[in-house]
Amino acid sequence: MEWKREELRVEKEIGEPILVVENAMKAFGGLQALNNISFEVRRGEILSIIGPNGAGKSVMLNCINGLPGYRLDSGRIVFDGQDITNWPPHKRAHIGISRTFQKIELFGGMTVLDNVKLGRHMKMNTGWWDGGIYWGKAVKEEAKHRKWIEEKVFETCEIEIYRNRITGMLPYGVQKRIELARALAMGPRLLLLDEPMAGLNLEEVEDMTRFILDANEEKEWNCTIILVEHDMGVVMDISDRVIVFDWGAKIADGPPEEVQNKPEVIRAYLGEVEETYITRR
């Protein structure tokens, strides 16, 4: 897979910070998962968080997402000028924060269309009363959102041919696409991606990379993205900026070309071996 970063990226503007994490602390018993971490995510950029297993990367995403059990012990999280540190997940979703997970979290017995439609549920304005009237407001609204999903989301993630298939019967790589599609169905402003390349073959990685770049760069989506990923080739190729966690602390922050050769980053991955490992294969 011979990629050149300049061939993948287009010229774009990076705006003011849309997300600010300040002095984030989170412990589980005696384990300090996040240790005084601060960083900003600027509007329109792809920020990658990398680090060895157990460094605190997914914990950080969970805290931003507001999952139960992941409220910060101290510090704060500010999204688009609002302090969301103690907000529940559904409220964060309503202001434009969406995510995927390391392990696929889909409903295997439902169709692809129904799984993706769940991501659009919060955009529905009709209530249970309207939903009980056949051909009422709820049916018309559902049809409008379904059309949007089929024309926009399915096209971006290239899953139209699977729309009526049972999700659990589809290959793992396709299910990864479906999870991304469900996250995009929310129409997010900030998209959190937790190891989207995990378990994919080379061709599937290329496809997923393209979908992520489309979500970031196309006017239809224009998503700011936080990417947690172990495929360093992908990270170095598509990231605007990279931050590195090790044992719950941030040890590096900067452009990919600078971060990959920092001695502290190399040590975090390889101990004391002083040679560049995090490079393009």
123 and 163 belong to one structural domain: yes
CA nearest to 107, candidates 193, 173, 165, 184? 165
pLDDT at 277 over 50: no
117 and 170 belong to one structural domain: yes
Residue 7 lies in a domain: no
pLDDT in tens, 26-39: 999 889 999 999 99
Q: Where are the beta strands (DSSP E) in 117-265?
A: 190-194, 224-228, 241-246, 249-254
pLDDT at 149 over 90: yes
The tokens of 124 are what?
A: 């529905």
pLDDT at 273 over 80: no
Residue 237: band (very low, low, confident or very high) from pLDDT cuts 50, 70, 90: very high
39: phi then psi, degrees, rounded to nearest 5: -165, 165
Provide the sign of the torsion angle of the four alpha carbons 184, 187, 188, 189, taken in this order: positive
In the listed set 143, 168, 185, which residue is the last one of a domain according to the structure? 185
Domain region containing 140: 106-185
Mean pLDDT calculated for residue range 252-274 = 82
203 and 92 belong to one structural domain: yes
Residue 3 lies in a domain: no
What pLDDT is stored for residue 281 in this prediction? 39
Residue 275: band (very low, low, confident or very high) from pLDDT cuts 50, 70, 90: very low
Residue 61 lies in a domain: yes
Residues 19-56, buried b or exposed e (16+ Cβ, 10 A)?
Answer: bbbbebebeeeeebbbbebebbbbbbbbbbbbbeeebb
What pLDDT is stored for residue 9 in this prediction? 54
Please state the domain count of the chain. Answer: 2
57 and 163 belong to one structural domain: no
pLDDT in tens, 173-213: 999 999 999 999 999 999 999 999 999 999 999 999 999 99
280 and 192 belong to one structural domain: yes
Give the three-state DSSP class for 186: coil
pLDDT at 13 over 90: no
Residue 150 lies in a domain: yes
The rounded radius of gyration (Å) of the Cα atoms in the chain is 19
Q: Which residues is 47 bridged to in the sheet?
A: 226, 241
pLDDT at 132 over 80: no
**What is the Cα–Cα distance from 210 to 126, expressed in whole angstroms?**
35
Specify the CATH number for the domain of residue 280: 3.40.50.300
What pLDDT is stored for residue 229 in this prediction? 95
In the listed set 185, 203, 233, which residue is the last one of a domain according to the structure? 185
Residues 6+ apart with CB under 8 A from 31: none
What pLDDT is stored for residue 194 in this prediction? 96
